[in-house]
Amino acid sequence: MGDPPWYTSAMFIKKVRKSNKGSGKIYEYLHLVESIRTEKGPRQRLVLNLGDLDVPVDQFKELANCIEAMLTGQNQLFSPDREIEKHARNAVMRIRAQKSEEQDALQSGPDQQPDPDYRTVDVASMQAGEVRSLGPEYVCHSLWNELQFNEILMSNGVSKHVLPLLEALVVGRLISPGSERHTWNWSHDLSAVYELSGPPLRESLSSLYRAGDVLFDLKEQLEVHLARRERDLFSLPERLCLLDLTNAFFEGSANGNPKAKRGRSKEKRSDCKLLTLALVVDENGFAKHSRLYPGNQSEPQTLEDILEDMIRLHPGLSRERTVVVDAGIATEANLALLKDKKFHYIVVHRGKADFSAADLENMTVIREKQQYRIEVVRKERDGQAMLLCRSSARKGKDFGIRNRQEQLFVERLRYFHEGLSLPRRTKLYDKVVEKVGRLREKYPRASKLYDVEVTPEEKPGKKVKASAIVWRKKEQYDQVAQFDGCYVLCTDLCNLSDKDIWETYVMLTRVENAFRSMKSALGLRPNFHQNEDRADAHMFISVLAYHILHAIEYRLGQCGDHRSWSTLREVLSTHQRLTIEYNVKEQDRIVRRHVRLCSTPEPEHKEIYRNLGLKDEPLPRKTHTVK
């Protein structure tokens, strides 16, 4: 037997009006219908509800004809209007999906291999189209399911019809990062993500914005769930809490967002307002908690909030965990806070007052490689271990920065001094002092090595002018240079060896790697939203995407594949989903057959899928026939 017929006559479009019984509001929809003959005479059958398409009445016939031409393979009848053709292609894809499901239901079973089907095919009629990216979506969709996103969302009252939109929003940030508008175009025109997750009930740009609101409203529930799920999946020890901050800049004024403030941009975008993200990860790089702050947030003030959140949201949090933070957060007050909360800590101590130049002669090497060498010397006092570390790689960097700042600092001082005797240059004493003060702020490393004095004129007057600017190197100049490449670690874990303390501290790079992934591969910046809630949701979506990204990289890393997600995404992009169309002779007539299938995975695709525990074929083949 052949495939059951479903198309028998010409199609047309009609407008349908429906009213809401509660509000009395009238809604208009476009229906694609066809006339059929029945025992009771001619009838109209609904083919597809086109929704509220913005198509003029005089183009209804053109749209219907274009849809019919695409279904039957008559390319010469396609509409020259790009908008009409776009609407027609979307309609055809939905019709084919519906009919494929209907015909699949007639098959004996979804996992059963189809019997050989030999037909006479017109090779010249073969066409390939509707090509969509599949490989990266397949990997992300599998981890989305493994991390049980849908389960936690539905348990918090999210409708299953909305789940495909939420997944598209997060997965889109992994595969084609951009704004929600960009994600809508990607999911609709470039990706097979909805073939994997199922189509959403309503697919529109507004629905994607609302999907972001849903995710951010459930921020705490999602982060707690993901932390537990990742711990169980990957058997994580979770002995460390690594905390750091970054910021992302806004495009636009963001006047409606109270958290959009000017501050010190990590990307040197001092022209833009910022939003700050605090992130906690464990020693394996898995995110545990995030929090958003204004763009001008002071780093030391964030620690208490984060610790309270971690204790509140993770009641089983072991107080034996060690908190690792950089110098920006490690104030004396925060060290006292960590002790009060009974957390262990390894932090970068501010200053090197506990060590002298003589200590540099007693350093021991704890790591040596071709590119760098790490040397340390240790002191203990008041139940704390202080570790002076010197990195050969960092020594060159510190010298370069300090030397460059010193050059610029002295050049500007000389410029100001010479200007005191030149016309149209700043000479007033107060103004000169102000300029020198700003110069000290701009070049702090060089400023602390010099004494600078601005000398006023001897003769009194209403407006006192400066007569000279004098600068000289401080006595400790050479001593400061000796400490190039040095930093001090402070910890209450005195039982740890020098090497263990240093190796634990350098795990802070896991947070930096997370930020780097969010900014480079997950579209954290720039933030185009002017509304506070939408801007916060945009940042949080990147955090959720990082959970999937890191789970992929971590699992592949366990199999010896240490490639970054950006590289994996590029490799997988050649595995695609497409439709093959051709004319086939069936009994005494010619019919048009459409086959929706996956391209054959290449060896590199198969290796990635195998390491992730996935099948080679993401989606089954779907076939339907136009008679």
Residue-wise pLDDT tens digits, 244-264: 999 999 988 888 899 999 988
Report whether pLDDT(153) > 90: yes
Report whether pLDDT(165) > 60: yes
pLDDT of residue 265: 87
Report whether pLDDT(4) > 50: no
Nearest CA among 515, 529, 533 for reference residue 277: 515
Average pLDDT, the chain: 87
Q: Which residues have C-beta within 8 Å of that of residue 483, sequence separation ≥ 6?
A: 352, 360
Task: Give SS3 for 243.
Answer: strand
pLDDT of residue 174: 94
Q: What is the chain's percent helix, strand, coil content, to nearest 5?
A: 45, 25, 30
Which whole number is the average pLDDT over 320-345? Answer: 89
Report whether pLDDT(6) > 70: no
pLDDT of residue 77: 61
Which whole number is the average pLDDT over 96-109? Answer: 60
Question: Domains (ranges, CATH) in the chain?
Answer: 11-113 (no CATH), 220-353+360-385+489-558 (3.30.420.10), 395-482 (no CATH)
pLDDT band at 2 (very low <50, low <70, confident <90, very high): very low
CA angle 296, 514, 274 (to 5 degrees): 20
371 or 373: which leads in pLDDT: 373
pLDDT of residue 3: 38
Which stretches of 128-275 are DSSP H helices? Answer: 135-146, 149-155, 163-175, 180-189, 193-197, 205-217, 219-234
Report whether pLDDT(173) > 90: yes
Report whether pLDDT(144) > 60: yes
- How many other C-beta atoms can be found within 10 angstroms of the C-beta atom of residue 432? 24
pLDDT of residue 578: 94
8 or 497: which leads in pLDDT: 497
Nearest CA among 298, 353, 348 for reference residue 323: 348
pLDDT band at 108 (very low <50, low <70, confident <90, very high): very low
DSSP string, 384-422: EEEEEEEEHHHHHHHHHHHHHHHHHHHHHHHHHHHHTTS
Q: Which residues have C-beta within 8 Å of that of residue 518, sequence separation ≥ 6?
A: 524, 542, 543, 545, 546
Report whether pLDDT(7) > 80: no
Report whether pLDDT(215) > 90: yes
pLDDT of residue 347: 94
pLDDT band at 158 (very low <50, low <70, confident <90, very high): very high
Tokens of 515: 């930020």
pLDDT of residue 119: 81
Question: How far is 187 from 189, CA to CA, in rounded Å?
Answer: 6
Report whether pLDDT(203) > 80: no
Question: How far is 210 from 212, CA to CA, in rounded Å?
Answer: 5
pLDDT of residue 623: 85
Of all residues in the chain, what percent carry a pLDDT higher than 70?
93
Which whole number is the average pLDDT over 309-337? Answer: 84
pLDDT band at 238 (very low <50, low <70, confident <90, very high): confident
pLDDT band at 83 (very low <50, low <70, confident <90, very high): confident
Nearest CA among 491, 515, 493 for reference residue 280: 515
Report whether pLDDT(538) > 50: yes
pLDDT of residue 112: 53
Of 336-350, 397-411, 516-530, 534-548, the poorest mean pLDDT is in 516-530
pTM: 0.79
Of all residues in the chain, what percent carry a pLDDT higher than 90?
51
Tokens of 128: 């390939």
Distances (CA, A) of 608 to 382, 406, 551, 574: 52, 51, 13, 13
Report whether pLDDT(5) > 50: no
The secondary structure of 309-336, three-state, reads HHHHHCCCCCCCCEEEECCCCCCHHHHH
pLDDT of residue 105: 52
Which whole number is the average pLDDT over 219-227? Answer: 96
